[in-house]
């Protein structure tokens, strides 16, 4: 099992003893050391917050908390996320739902995924869905205007479908 990368985990205990503050002379070296420690702790908190994956999935575009290296600019680019409420899956067809992104912009997608739920029979599938039976495959794609889902058989019983798109602008 892989070891947890704890580089951005923060201590849950008091990092600085606030009671010391009353006894420190603002002109002393101890006070300067206290301020340095405080500054380092605030920077650690900000770094941890900025590096976390935001656990909010919304139909509105929002920052995901992720970043990807941009080979053109040699910098990290922020990743945006939004979900598309898709409705039911189609019956042996391709269904398209508008994603709402500006089709004139050159987005770079980092992730496209989702879930399909048959709420009556309590069956749930990941999207895209791969299997050795060709008719059971569910294809998921994005074009300039739409989220596209193609089914090889009747999947209309999957009545709650959510697609997540993550991209760099």
In terms of pLDDT, which residue wins out, 53 or 43? Answer: 43
Determine the 3-state secondary structure of 160 from DSSP: strand
Q: What is the mean pLDDT of residues 11-23?
A: 69
Q: How many CB atoms lie within 10 A of CB 155?
A: 23
In a shared domain, residues 41 and 76: no
Q: At residue 2, does pLDDT exceed 50? A: no
SS (H, E, C) 139-159: EEEECCCEEEEEECCECCCCC
In a shared domain, residues 66 and 138: yes
In a shared domain, residues 43 and 68: no
In DSSP terms, 151 is beta-bridged to 138
In a shared domain, residues 69 and 144: yes
Q: How many CB atoms lie within 10 A of CB 136?
A: 14
Expressed as residue numbers, the domain containing 39 is: 18-51
In a shared domain, residues 116 and 92: yes
In a shared domain, residues 24 and 67: no
Q: What is the mean pLDDT of residues 66-72?
A: 85
Instruction: From 77, 60, 59, select the one nearest 68 (Cα to Cα).
Output: 77
Do you find a cis peptide bond into 79, omega within 30 degrees of 0? no
Least confident window among 20-34, 38-52, 100-114, 118-132: 38-52
Q: In this structure, is residue 8 part of a structural domain?
A: no
Mean pLDDT of the chain: 87
């Amino acid at each position: 099992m892989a070891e947890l990368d704890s580089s951005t985990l923060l201590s849950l205990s008091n990092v600085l003893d606030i009671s010391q503050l009353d006894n420190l002379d603002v002109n002393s070296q101890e006070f300067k050391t206290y301020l340095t420690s405080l500054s380092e702790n605030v920077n650690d908190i900000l770094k941890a917050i900025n590096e976390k994956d935001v656990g909010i999935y919304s139909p509105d575009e929002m920052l995901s908390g992720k970043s990807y290296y941009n080979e053109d600019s040699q910098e990290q680019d922020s990743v945006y996320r939004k979900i598309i409420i898709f409705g039911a899956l189609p019956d042996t067809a391709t269904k398209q739902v508008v994603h709402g992104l500006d089709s004139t912009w050159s987005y770079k997608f980092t992730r496209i995924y989702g879930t399909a739920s048959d709420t009556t029979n309590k069956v749930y599938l990941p999207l895209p869905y791969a299997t050795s039976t060709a008719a059971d495959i569910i294809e998921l794609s994005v074009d300039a205007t739409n989220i596209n889902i193609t089914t090889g058989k009747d999947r209309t019983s999957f009545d709650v479908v959510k697609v997540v798109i993550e991209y760099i602008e």
